[in-house]
Chain A
Amino acid sequence: MFAAENGLKGDPRLQAISDAIRVIPHFPKQGIMFQDITTLLLDHKVFKHTVDIIVDRYRDMDISVVAGVEARGFMFAPSIALAIGAKFVPLRKPRKLPGEVISESYVLEYGTDSLEMHVGAVQPGERALIIDDLVATGGTLFAATKLLERLGAEVVECACVIGLPEVKEKFRRLLLRLGDQGEVD
């Protein structure tokens, strides 16, 4: 597991977390093995372990911003923010955030999408963490990183519950992944 690279080797909580994630074949389309974290959220102890592990890593790193990627990042990031005393910043699909936003596009398998963040949510020099449930190619997290950096924040790390092997090599050094759930076809 990738987490082993980060000093968590042998931590029994990791196995419980991995076991709590359910795989749904052929969702959202044929050939994709979807990593479903909702079953983890149904298990209070394991959900707490997941948050604890992330909090333990970041609590002394002077992080004042925890950004979460819509929508599954919203399920993890706020609890982490609360525990380390940081602000929570939602990174959203277009036209969901009211008021003034900045936008960053990213490439999908077919087409593009974009992420938005509120202007003024972060100040230059703030240290930030970005949270999502899963990292695949890293495209979404890369866009998220750019949003924060454009407003002068420093992205210390991105943390995801699940990391898929195809995560691009250039992005690896930025990621802490708690579980390696196998491949997407």
Chain B
Amino acid sequence: MASDLPQGDDRIAKIASSIRVIPNFPKPGVMFQDITTLLLDPRAFRDTIDLFVERYKGQDISVVAGIEARGFIFGPPVALAIGAKFVPMRKPNKLPGEVISEEYTLEYGADVMEMHVGAVQAGERAIIMDDLIATGGTLCAAIKLLERVGVHVVECACVIELPELKGRDRLGDRPLDRTSCLEGIPGTAIEGFEPYVDGGRKRGPGAIDEVWCSTSPVSLESGQGDQGSALGAFGF
């Protein structure tokens, strides 16, 4: 959790305040968490990447998977800084060559996520990145794609969590029945949706230990101090 960070890390508050909320996008009633304003603030963007790099460097992570399209913005800088490969997880028919596919349910209908065959090897340790976790449906699909080829998904890392949608719980349950992975729209509560529970959390090979987010609208860290930049790892 961001609460694991040492006291005096004011980066979180600055990152959170750089995110703008757009009401009624993409439809009425949805409060959209817009990270593009974070990206316009070089310091905030650098701090965001630093927080992830500090957490994952030295953890033997060889794969950073990023979910199309906003996961493509955060994943590669982290991958470069920790010495991992970057693997894009894409909508159908975007990746050329041989792919594997995973279907997942949306609030209305279904979608499909694809990954290249041969992008990852069994036994590799991976993190999955996206800008935001809502219900966890998209991340579930990404986890399954990686686990199908024998990768250990160590953690999912997102800039923003919408905790009321309980995506965190969904990722902690094993095994996952894909029909119960629902993708919602940020900011909405899904009426009548029952999170998948199978006798409480199960742990086993490939279980997700936790969802780690560097900031959340619900819990913010504050304090003083500057921790320097892990971007030195870039060698720039």
Contact surface of A with B, Cβ cutoff 8 Å: 22, 24, 27-28, 34, 36, 38, 41-44, 47-48, 51-52, 55, 70-72, 74-76, 78-79, 81-83, 85-90, 92, 95-99, 118, 121
Chain B proximity of A86: nearest CB distance (Å): 6
Which listed segment binds A: B88-96, B159-167, B214-222?
B88-96
CB pair B42 A86 closer than 8 Å: yes
**Main DSSP-derived SS at the A contact region:** mixed
- A interface footprint on B53-72 (CB within 8 Å = 1, 0 otherwise): 00000000000000011001
Residues of A within 8 A of B209 (CB): none
Select which of B39, B72, B236 is within 8 A of A83 by beta carbon. B236
Residue B83 CB within 8 A of the other chain: yes
Q: How far is the CA of A44 from the CA of B95 in the complex (A)?
A: 19
Also in contact, A88 and B73, with CB within 8 A (given A36-B96, A71-B68, A98-B34): yes
Q: Which one of A52, A70, A82 contacts B69 once the chains associate, using CB atoms below 8 Å?
A: A70
Which stretch of B74-82, B105-113, B144-152 is in the interface? B74-82
A44-B80, A47-B86, A97-B36 in contact; A85/B42 too (CB < 8 A)?
Answer: yes
Shortest Cβ gap from B234 to chain A (Å): 6
Q: Are A27 and B88 in contact (CB under 8 A)?
A: no
Q: Determine if B25 and A98 form an interchain contact, defined as CB atoms under 8 angstroms apart.
A: yes
Q: Please name 7 further chain A to chain B contacts, defined as beta carbons within 8 Å, in addition to the given A42-B119, A52-B235, A75-B72, sorted by A numbering.
A: A34-B96, A41-B87, A47-B86, A75-B88, A81-B42, A99-B22, A99-B25
